[in-house]
Amino acid sequence: MSKIASISPEIPISLLLILLLSLPFKGNSQTVNGERAILLKLKQHWGNPLSLQFWNSSTEPCKWPEILCSGVSVTQISLQKKDINGTIPPFICDLQNLTRIDLANNNIPGEFPTVLYNLPQSRQKYLCRPNSCGSWPICGVADAFSPYELLQWPKRPDSESITNLSNLEHLDLSRNDLMGKIPSDLLLLKNLSHLYLDSNRLSGEIPRSVESLKLVEIDLSGNALTGTIPEDFGKLQNLMDLSLYVNGLSGRIPMELTGLPHLTTLLLDDNRLSGSLPSEIMSWRSLTTLNLGSNKLSSKIPPSIGYLPNLIHLDLWENQFSSQIPPKFGHLRLTTLDLSSNHLTGRIPDEVKNLVDDSSFYNNPGLCVANPFLNHSYFRFNRSVRSDFGNSQTVNGERTILLKLKQHWGNPLSLQFWNSSSEHCKWPEIHCSGDSVTEISLHGENINGTIPPFICDLQNLTHIDLANNNIPGEFPTVLYNCSKLQYLDLSFNYFGGQIPEDIDRISRLQYLNLGVNTFAGKIPAAVGRFAELQTLFLDMNNFNGSFSPNIGNLSNLEFFRLDYNELFLQARIPSEFGRLKKLTYLWMKSTKLIGEIPESITNLSNLEYLDLSGNDLMGKIPSDLLLLKNLSSLHLYNNRLSGEIPRSVEALNLVEIDLSKNALTGTIPEDFGKLQNLTVLKLFENRLSGRIPMELTGLPYLSTLLLDDNRLSGSLPSEIISWKWLTILSLRRNELSSKIPPSIGYLTRLIDLDLSENQFSGQIPPEIGHLRLAFVNLSYNQLTGRIPDEVKNLVDDRNFYNNPGLCAANPFLNHRACYSKPPNSSRLSPRFLAMILVLGVALVLVALLIAFFVIQNYHRRKHARYLVTWKMTSFQRLQFTESRILSSLTENNLIGSGGSGKVYRIAINSSGDAVAVKKIWNNRKLDQKLEKEFLAEVQILGSIRHSNIVKLLCCLSSEESKLLVYEYMENRSLDRWLHGKRRSSAVSEYAYTTKVNQKIDVYSFGVVLLELATGREATDGDDEHTCLAEWAWRQLQDGNSIVDALDEGIKEPCYLDEMSSLFKLGIICTGTLPSTRPSMKEVLQILLRGGGPP
């Protein structure tokens, strides 16, 4: 018989159940030994690495740091950064309950490990490819294969597709050479939250049916996708980032997309989208980046764009937008604006032209300005070049050349408008100056042939755009004969070989884009001899030589891309680059850079965007780098930079900072708090220490904050409640302590929260349950107490793991019940514990009984003495007695006092319900007539039933005083919230007229609206005899501007319309005649419409 069975029968059965539930369940020792043998075999297969030193035959595998169990069975293996070099063996799947494998950041060779297909289907939730993902639950193989290693979707030996992975949450197959269609059922995976298929060669349509309602990010850019954007994308209510740029998508932008409330980034540029831009986009309140460039969008630019409060990047270049630029654009805080190459007309509004420079409006011949600015010298070529001849012979000759060009390319269907019966200057792909061809724009037209020499017979040709086609061969030196060529875009093709040493023979080039091809060898010195070059893109090629320091001679260069050339020979950043005084954008990501960042780079005073990430740079960040006042984006992540982050920051236009994955030390600069436009701050995987600066809480637009894997200490400031736009917060693997501030629960846009592996203590704030989190991790802390019901329903048990002090009301997975015995607690026998518990309960009951009788006797005597003098008149059904009220009129319950009496808050039952009691002192000279009038009026007020009037419950009177008992309302007076003062100044119409009717509450609400709009109090008019309502009416009657009447403390240009509407509605609600006032239902409808009164 067990010990439990021998417990005395006097012990309650509920206590017996508690003790039974607290006993641990013991697993099968055979399972433990079997899984330990598999893991030790795995360690041996990988050559017994030192990083797995705790794996031995004498300890339980569930206690090894890299292993997580459910019960006694292994469910997770986390081997990130363990210096593993061997392959993944088939016997790893002998761990039958394995749900997660994390092998990120190791040196595992070979192709995709298909041995993992042997995992039970229901367990394929977490799968990581080496060097491709972190500790999030993802299936990632981004950048994992050479371009010719993976040419189709990975398939299982039994031909089942990837869409069988029903628990898949994160899929990253970007930057490979995948071909064919996207599986039709891929977007039916209901747990999918992140999808990255960018930079492949996928074709066909995007699947139309979408049921992956948890999707937060979709990136299908840089493919050859066709068809329209699925309307079902409008169902993705959690979607934040949608990137479909550089494809062949057509049709309209679906109206359904305007219903995505959390969308922050929308990139649809370089497609064939047509139609208008929906005016309903004003619902994108979170949008920061909108790029629709290089499409065929038309009609007017909707003024509603001006109401997107967080928009900072807007690109609508190279479309067919017409009419005027909406002045509402002036409300935006834009750092990037490009409206060039459209059909815009009229005057550039003064509010808009001050936002950015002249290049934003280039190539809109119908635009004009009151005071012309700059010189229209953007990288788009100057269209003022005119033909020297315009006769019919020229027209026919150029049309013949173009038709010959079409025939040379095999008469592609995309050039269907090119025929001998129409004017070639009206063909969509052709632009003329006079009657002569100056531009050929064949972007994404599926051209496969080479570029013929006779293209230069078009003698006034200045612009050639052949990007995003399938053109093979070496660099087309036949273009040397195009003597007027200023703009050349050959990107996203199959050009190869070396760039010619004499490429500078195209001497007038202002724009040269050779990106995303297969050019090899070195970048010749001739590239540095383009005297007029403003834009140079050489990114994503196969260069295996070096780049010339002569690039520093390009004195007019504004945009330079050399990123993703990972075959380059190692090289330092030339100090000559410091001479590029006009440079605004510099991308050199993943270009095999070594050495230090030269100090000369701080001479680039016009620099806006700097990306040197993914290299092997060492040394300190130049001390003056953050003094560049035009800098808006800084990316130095994934290098070997050391030392402190520069303390002095004057780059106040910064929107993004990414210094992650370096070896930076010191503290986070307090000056970062000056960056009022900052939206993204990434400092993870460094060696930063100290506290999180309080100054960071003053960043109003911060959306992403990643500080994980550092040595930060101290507490998390409760002032983070000001981060209203924050969506991602990761503080994992630091030394942060103290309590988790409840204010996190008020960050309404937060969807990713990781506070794991710190020293947070105390209870989990239930406010976190208010959030719509897609990911949360609070594991490996020192949290205690009960897991709030609001929180545990968000995610699964792993997110609270290894907090020994936590418990749950209804235990799930590895967490104990709150009433069960915690691990390693007292070893007293269950019988002895039960006896102590029973004795303790008995003592408490005796004490309570004694106290009860003493208190009851006291109240009985006091009640008998006190009741004699009081008379009660009730107007409602009461849940209390008069003795309850009278006995509670103590100083402890006093909440206010005035000239005529005092106000008490009195609890009427054990549930905490309360009433408000106003004690009025009698005037002994009050005659009997006035006494009767008072009682009659109290009788009337007691009979009123109105949702906006506090109920009078009863009246108690004596010779000395009277008591009015009201329904108690929490949160004090509205005036206290509006004006922060102790006295009440809220004025109702009853106070002025002494007449009661159903429109009194409308009048009172109107006064509140006027207080909100003007900042004045209800009695604050022109003089002591004028109230606020009368003063507001007089403002209108005298013809004064409403704007002048508004509260200076909160009056901002972007909210003037809403504040003025509020002022007008307040005036209507305080009309002199009650019959002219709207009902409260009508007032509500006006406010919900967001506008003013009709």
* Residue pLDDT, tens place only, 290-310: 999 999 898 888 888 887 888
Top pLDDT among 83 and 382 is at 83
Residue ending a domain, choose from 967, 989, 1005 = 967
pLDDT of 930 higher than 60: no
Give me the mean pLDDT over the 746-755 stretch.
Answer: 88
Residue ending a domain, choose from 80, 106, 135 = 135
pLDDT of 348 higher than 60: yes
List the CATH number of the domain containing 798.
Answer: 3.80.10.10
Structural domain for 905, as ranges: 870-967
Give me the mean pLDDT over the 1057-1080 stretch.
Answer: 84
Residue 110 main-chain phi, psi, to 5 deg: 95, 180
Indicate the pTM of the whole model: 0.51
Say if 574 falls within a structural domain: no
Quickly state the pLDDT bin for 119 (edges 50, 70, 90).
Answer: low
Q: Do both 793 and 840 map to the same domain?
A: no
pLDDT of 672 higher than 90: yes
Say if 571 falls within a structural domain: no
For residues 279 and 258, give the distance between their C-alpha atoms in angstroms, rounded to a whole number: 9
Say if 850 falls within a structural domain: yes
Structure tokens given for 1042: 């409403």
Q: What is the pLDDT of residue 1074?
A: 77
Q: Do both 927 and 947 map to the same domain?
A: yes
User: Phi/psi zone of residue 186: left (φ > 0), alpha (ψ -120 to 50 degrees), beta?
Assistant: alpha
Q: What is the pLDDT of residue 979?
A: 61
Say if 949 falls within a structural domain: yes
Residue ending a domain, choose from 75, 106, 135 = 135
User: If DSSP states are collapsed to H, E and C, what string results for 41-70?
Assistant: HHHHHCCCCHHHCCCCCCCCHHHCCCEEEE
Structure tokens given for 1066: 């307040």
Q: What is the pLDDT of residue 815?
A: 65
Say if 378 falls within a structural domain: no
Say if 340 falls within a structural domain: no
Q: Is 919 annotated as a binding residue?
A: yes
Selection from 126, 76, 125, 85 nearest residue 105 by Cα: 85
Top pLDDT among 31 and 782 is at 782
Among 756-765, 842-851, 996-1005, the range scoring the smallest mean pLDDT is 996-1005
Among 43-47, 522-526, 753-757, 945-949, the range scoring the smallest mean pLDDT is 945-949
Q: What is the pLDDT of residue 862?
A: 58
Q: What is the pLDDT of residue 986?
A: 41
Q: Do both 1030 and 985 map to the same domain?
A: yes
The answer to whether residues 261 and 287 touch, using CB atoms and an 8 Å cutoff, is no
Distance of CA 723 to the CA centre of its chain: 11
State the first-to-last Cα distance of the chain, in angstroms, to the nearest integer: 83
Q: Do both 802 and 893 map to the same domain?
A: no
For residues 288 and 279, give the distance between their C-alpha atoms in angstroms, rounded to a whole number: 17
Q: Do both 107 and 41 map to the same domain?
A: yes
Quickly state the pLDDT bin for 741 (edges 50, 70, 90).
Answer: very high
Q: Do both 987 and 951 map to the same domain?
A: no
Q: What is the pLDDT of residue 9?
A: 34
Q: What is the pLDDT of residue 970?
A: 72
Quickly state the pLDDT bin for 760 (edges 50, 70, 90).
Answer: very high
Quickly state the pLDDT bin for 67 (edges 50, 70, 90).
Answer: confident
795-825, pLDDT tens digit by residue? 566 788 888 888 877 655 456 777 644 444 4
Q: What is the pLDDT of residue 830?
A: 66
The answer to whether residues 549 and 524 touch, using CB atoms and an 8 Å cutoff, is no
Say if 556 falls within a structural domain: no
955-1010, pLDDT tens digit by residue? 888 777 788 888 887 765 555 556 654 345 444 554 444 444 556 678 888 888 88
Q: What is the pLDDT of residue 789?
A: 75
70-89, pLDDT tens digit by residue? 777 888 888 877 878 888 88
Q: What is the pLDDT of residue 991?
A: 42
pLDDT of 1077 higher than 90: no
Q: Report the SS3 class of residue 776.
A: strand
Residue with tokens 């109290």: 938
265-298, pLDDT tens digit by residue? 999 999 999 888 887 787 788 898 999 999 989 8
Distance (Å) of CA 1012 to CA 358, 931, 1009: 41, 39, 5
List the CATH number of the domain containing 1082.
Answer: 1.10.510.10
Quickly state the pLDDT bin for 828 (edges 50, 70, 90).
Answer: low
Quickly state the pLDDT bin for 751 (edges 50, 70, 90).
Answer: confident
Q: What is the pLDDT of residue 487?
A: 95
pLDDT of 1014 higher than 90: no
Say if 550 falls within a structural domain: no
Q: Do both 954 and 1036 map to the same domain?
A: no
Q: Facing residues of 919 across strands?
A: 902, 963
pLDDT of 1 higher than 50: no
Q: What is the pLDDT of residue 24?
A: 36
Q: Do both 992 and 903 map to the same domain?
A: no
Q: Do both 805 and 839 map to the same domain?
A: no
The answer to whether residues 706 and 680 touch, using CB atoms and an 8 Å cutoff, is no
Q: What is the pLDDT of residue 981?
A: 44
Among 177-181, 564-568, 628-632, the range scoring the smallest mean pLDDT is 177-181
Give me the mean pLDDT over the 1066-1072 stretch.
Answer: 86
Distance (Å) of CA 224 to CA 202, 220, 244, 250, 541: 6, 10, 10, 12, 19
Structure tokens given for 1089: 């419409």
Contacts 24+ apart (CB under 8 A), 58-62: 60/32, 60/36, 61/32, 61/35, 61/36, 62/32
For residues 315 and 327, give the distance between their C-alpha atoms in angstroms, rounded to a whole number: 17
Q: Report the SS3 class of residue 109.
A: coil
Among 133-142, 218-227, 517-526, 756-765, the range scoring the smallest mean pLDDT is 133-142
Q: What is the pLDDT of residue 148?
A: 27
Q: What is the pLDDT of residue 556?
A: 95
Packing angle, helices 1028-1037 and 1000-1014, rounded to 10: 70
Q: What is the pLDDT of residue 136?
A: 29
Give me the mean pLDDT over the 359-387 stretch.
Answer: 53
Total residues belonging to the chain = 1094
Q: What is the sign of the dihedral through the CA atoms of 424, 428, 434 and 439?
A: negative
pLDDT of 316 higher than 70: yes
Q: Do both 109 and 126 map to the same domain?
A: yes
600-643, pLDDT tens digit by residue? 999 999 999 999 999 999 999 999 999 999 999 999 999 999 99
Give me the mean pLDDT over the 879-896 stretch.
Answer: 85
Percentage of the chain exceeding pLDDT 70: 79
List the CATH number of the domain containing 947.
Answer: 3.30.200.20
Quickly state the pLDDT bin for 326 (edges 50, 70, 90).
Answer: confident
pLDDT of 1028 higher than 60: yes
Selection from 609, 604, 736 nearest residue 668 by Cα: 736
DSSP one-letter code for 354 = T
Give me the mean pLDDT over the 925-929 stretch.
Answer: 53
Structure tokens given for 122: 């229901």
Q: Do both 1043 and 1058 map to the same domain?
A: yes
Q: What is the pLDDT of residue 591?
A: 93
DSSP 3-state helix, strand, coil percentages of the chain (rounded to 5)? 30, 20, 50
440-492, pLDDT tens digit by residue? 999 888 899 999 999 999 999 999 999 989 999 999 999 999 999 999 999 99
Q: Do both 100 and 131 map to the same domain?
A: yes
Q: What is the pLDDT of residue 351?
A: 67
Number of independent structural domains in the chain? 5
